[in-house]
A and B are shown apart, each in its own frame.
Chain A
Amino acid sequence: MTVENIVELLKASGADAWELTDVREQGWEFYFIRRRLDQNRAKLTEHIRVKLYRKSPDGQFLGSAAGEIAPTASGDEARRELARLLENASYVKNPYYTLNTPSGAAAAPGEDVDPMPIARDFLEAVRGVPETESEDINSWELFVSGVRRRFLNSEGIDVTSVYPYSMAEVVVNARRDGREIELYRMYRSGACDREGLARDIAETLRCGRDKLIARPTPNLGSAAVVFSSEAAKELYGWFSTRMGAGFRVFGYSDWEIGRPVVPDAEGDRVTLRALKHLPNSSENAEYDAEGAPIRDVTLIEDGVARRYLGSRQFSQYLHLEESFIEGNLEVTGGTATPEALRNGRFLEAVEFSDFQVDPFNGDIAGEIRLAYWHDGEKVTPVSGGSISGNMGALARCMRMSRELRQYDCWRIPAVTRLEGVTVTGME
């Protein structure tokens, strides 16, 4: 089945509205053990996803049902699936809303992305990483795709985005006196940032040296914790998720527009913006997954909630104009230099096993794989134990650096400091 065939079936299906997303992907994957190739893989796929809508007879409700039509489906099979979806949609009763409509002339899509030159950049960048007898790359995996994504709906939207998507998973080892440790990194981006990748892997090798001599994390009780790695995204995810339209509709966020998101804040005030473009982000796109144009929008300004953002359905329930599902996010509002935030006694956590911030209740938790304990006199690499706390309280005294650092689709303060974090040590 081609997209055009399916569109004709959708038009004849009896649906009150419909959406179709066609994603074609040419993916190249390489898996390495040390420097040798474990396996190479190619992916040549097309996924055609459809969503059919049905209005209730009184017009108060709109139901939908989603599914996928395989490119190998016969005409009969596709018709049966669309009929099934339409019937299922009639059992679903959500308050009525409308789909996105065209917003001017659609931008012309670019040429298909060939994964080969991007893959070459990654291969050469990692090959150039200086290894030593005591620090080296254990294994790594590379995923590079050229993606062509087309979205159509019954209201006349027909937009196409063409973009690269890359992901590299890198595991490094460091060893000393018969003991070996590993550190894990995951990089996501559009194309390859050769210099940034090489710099970060070299930094990781240095962290590996420190982890080898790390002492057990002391039982600090309540302490200042400085975040200077990608884990800090999770802290800011608490702000962005709570400004999501769906979160508001579900009653999970009680932040009021025009009011401070963190009452009685004594630290820096967050400014959170959704951005259409960030350099080499894997989320750069003209349109969101529902065909709405993406633009730059401020969600939180100087600590005050300015607007919610999200899907068409939840945005309409909140009466939001010109909403969309954000891709890139930027956090600013820091007032200090990174050096100024690294003062006094504090724990600088650079490596967690899995750092999490629960946006629903604000709980934070993570096991420490590598941190630096600054006791006011000396700096000691430490490992083990965990940090915990709640963002609702911790955000009141949050300090951020003016300097920013980008992690794929996030640009956030390079250094973030929280006071009063519970540090459960190993001693």
Chain B
Amino acid sequence: MKAPFSGYLADRAEGLKALAARLRERYDYVSVLATDSKGWRVRISQHAKSVADETMTTERGCVVRVHRDGLYSEAAFNDFDPGDPRAEADRLAAVLDRQLALLRDVGVEPYATAALADAPEAVVAEMETGRLPEDEDMAALIDRLTALSDRGVAAGEARLGEGSVLDCSVTAQSTHINKLFLTEHRDLRQSYVYSEGTVTVDVTRNGRNEMAYEGLSGRGGAELFDGLAQKLDEALDSAEELLSATRVEPGEYDIITAPDVSGLIAHEAFGHGVEMDMFVKGRALGADYLGRRVGSDSVTMHEGALCAVDVTSYAFDDEGTPAGDVVEIERGILKTGICDALSAQRLGVAPTGNGKRENYEHKVYTRMTNTVFDSGDDRLEDMIASIERGYLLKGISSGMEDPKHWGIQCIVEKGYEILNGRLTGRVVAPVVLTGYVPDLLGSVSMVSGDREVFGTGGCGKGYKEWVKVADGGPYLKARARLG
């Protein structure tokens, strides 16, 4: 079925167009983004259960972007009265004028930027989905998740002993995204559903706590949660491994990254590293390396809402730019970055469909969508066989970007020891992978033929501005420093 566009937004569209028309009397460019995204989140634990009609991306509100005298300004609000667009325009302009009066008083000059183009365009993208979140049978869903949590505890205790499982929590969330983007000549509407679920098994032994986590995601409805039973089995396996894990001896090793860790590296290395709003500020080393080698011949990487179907595979971004699919790195050569519309205007390049907001209340930045290494043609067993001493890294905890210096930090859940071309069964955890991005990507020597994409996480810019992203890739063989 197609995810139907919001009736609320459809009803408000004419009023918002009237508001934009009133604002155009004062400004030389006006756009309006209006959102009405609904969804729910269920968390079932042995100790507490919760259900809420809120997810990371549920929202209802509007933001207007205006341009005058080279300066872009925005006003976000969620009490729009379509009955009196002139009064709304006066209210928004008044608060922006008050800000500008302060800035003039303090002596601030604008970063002059030309007005955005406004070529005529009309889009209604109602994407295919399974079940809609608003139609979900919540009683049945809560029952299923509760049974899964109960099974996790029973199976975990059967494996690890009575009292060894502190909890097995299961979460499920589904969101129906609706966005309306308007300018004088453009009317863009999109509607799609994405969902994500996680299973977490918390275990303890001799005072040592460990947490094993597995997740799934996709651009679809609650039908995706059929896969949670398999994720529970994988989490139970992982919990058992973590309880017997030891620390890695710090040093440099041959590594194989599982697709989830490959995705984290893609995200932290040349996801953030080529967000071109950072080029404008001179905060990204990538600006100096376009056309130059940043990885081995085995490394090709794509970025874009169109290059995978997952939680952030939209039709247009929050500035009305159509979704894209950019080849960032081709056979080790950095080809281009990704760009929001204002940064593109300042840099004299075309936007790539990566202008995203945390929600209507937040500013647009250049942000990632799907960031994915291309597959190769190696087999995983051959990759393992090629390593004398090293680790197969799997499971992600967190990562941190450093576009200015190309440092990388990835905290990986665990590593499987490889000795003389075989997995030994020994597990180390956690593993801190650090290094210099070109060294890490330059060391990629084998790439498997399969590929997975993961979308259960969120991504911040610095320590704020959280958005949904997905990333992934195949198994990669490389060399890295572990601690």
Contacts and interface: CB of A to CB of B under 8 A. Distances in A.
Interface of A: 27-33, 35-47, 63-68, 70-72, 81, 84-85, 87-89, 91-94, 116, 119-120, 123-124, 127, 138-139, 167, 169, 171, 173, 180-182, 184, 186, 219, 221, 246, 249-252, 254, 313-314, 353-354, 356, 358, 360-363, 365-367, 369, 384-388, 392, 422, 424, 426
Given A88-B138, A250-B166, 9 more contacts: A46-B78, A63-B49, A72-B60, A120-B106, A219-B250, A252-B202, A367-B407, A392-B207, A424-B434
Given A354-B398, A354-B400, A386-B434, A139 B202 contact: no
Interface in B366-401: 397-398, 400-401
B239 to A, nearest CB: 12
A64 B363 contact: no
Given A250-B166, A384-B434, A356 B411 contact: yes
Contacts of A138: 281-283
Nearest to A77: B8
Interface in B111-139: 111, 138-139
Name A's interface SS.
strand
B350 to A, nearest CB: 20
A66 B79 contact: no
B51 interface: yes
A40 B464 contact: no
Contacts of A314: 48
A221 B45 CA distance: 40
Contact of B432 (A252, A254, A424): A424
A91 B398 contact: no
Contact of A33 (B207, B281, B405, B463): B281
B481 interface: yes
B402 interface: yes
B280 interface: yes
B400 A385 contact: no
B74 interface: yes
A33 B409 CA distance: 27
A29 B363 contact: yes
B167 A251 contact: yes
B51 A91 contact: yes
B75 interface: yes
Most buried by A among B71, B77, B92, B411: B411
Interface string B208-234: 111100000000000000000000000
Interface of B: 40, 45, 47-54, 58, 60-61, 71-80, 91-92, 95-96, 98-100, 102-103, 105-111, 138-139, 142-143, 166-167, 202, 204, 207-211, 247, 250-251, 280-283, 342, 361, 363, 397-398, 400-402, 404-405, 407-409, 411, 430, 432, 434, 436, 462-464, 481-483
B102 A119 contact: yes
Contacts of B397: 358
B36 to A, nearest CB: 9
B338 to A, nearest CB: 18
Most buried by B among A68, A123, A367: A367
B103 A40 contact: yes
Nearest to A169: B462
A139 B407 CA distance: 20
A67 B99 contact: no
A124 B408 CA distance: 35
A37 B71 contact: yes
B53 A66 contact: yes
Given A40-B99, A181-B405, A313 B283 contact: no
B483 A35 contact: no
Contacts of A184: 462
26 contacts: A30-B99, A30-B108, A37-B110, A37-B111, A38-B72, A39-B73, A41-B73, A42-B99, A43-B75, A43-B76, A45-B361, A47-B78, A66-B52, A88-B51, A94-B48, A127-B107, A139-B281, A219-B250, A360-B209, A360-B211, A361-B211, A365-B432, A365-B483, A384-B434, A385-B481, A388-B430
A91 B109 contact: no
Which 6 residue pairs are nearest across A and B when measured between Cβ atoms? A424-B483, A67-B53, A367-B409, A354-B400, A424-B250, A66-B52
Contact of A40 (B80, B96, B109): B96
Contacts of A93: 49
B106 A123 contact: yes
A425 to B, nearest CB: 8
Contacts of B72: 38-39
A65 B283 contact: no
Contacts of A28: 99
Contacts of A43: 75-77, 361
B53 A250 contact: no
B363 A365 contact: no
B167 A250 contact: yes
A250 B45 contact: yes
A71 B211 CA distance: 40
Contact of A384 (B79, B407, B463): B407
Nearest to B108: A37
Contact of B108 (A35, A72, A250, A252): A35
Contacts of B60: 70, 72
B362 to A, nearest CB: 9
A120 B102 contact: yes
B106 A186 contact: no
A47 B52 CA distance: 15
A124 B105 CA distance: 10
B77 A40 contact: no
B109 A84 contact: no
Contacts of B282: 138, 173, 180
B481 A426 contact: yes
A262 to B, nearest CB: 12
Contact of A385 (B51, B96, B402, B483): B483
B138 A87 contact: yes
Contacts of A186: 462-464
B407 A39 contact: no
Given A37-B108, A39-B363, A42-B75, A424 B481 contact: yes
Contacts of B202: 250-252, 360
A43 B432 CA distance: 39
B434 A251 contact: no
Contact of B95 (A44, A169, A386, A424): A44
Contacts of B73: 39-42
Contact of A249 (B48, B49, B77): B48
A150 B325 CA distance: 46
Contacts of A65: 51-53
Most buried by B among A37, A85, A388, A422: A37
Nearest to B402: A353
Nearest to B285: A180
Contacts of B103: 30, 37, 40, 123
A361 B208 contact: yes
Contact of A182 (B52, B71, B95, B283): B283
Contacts of B463: 169, 186
B53 A81 contact: yes
A91 B48 CA distance: 13
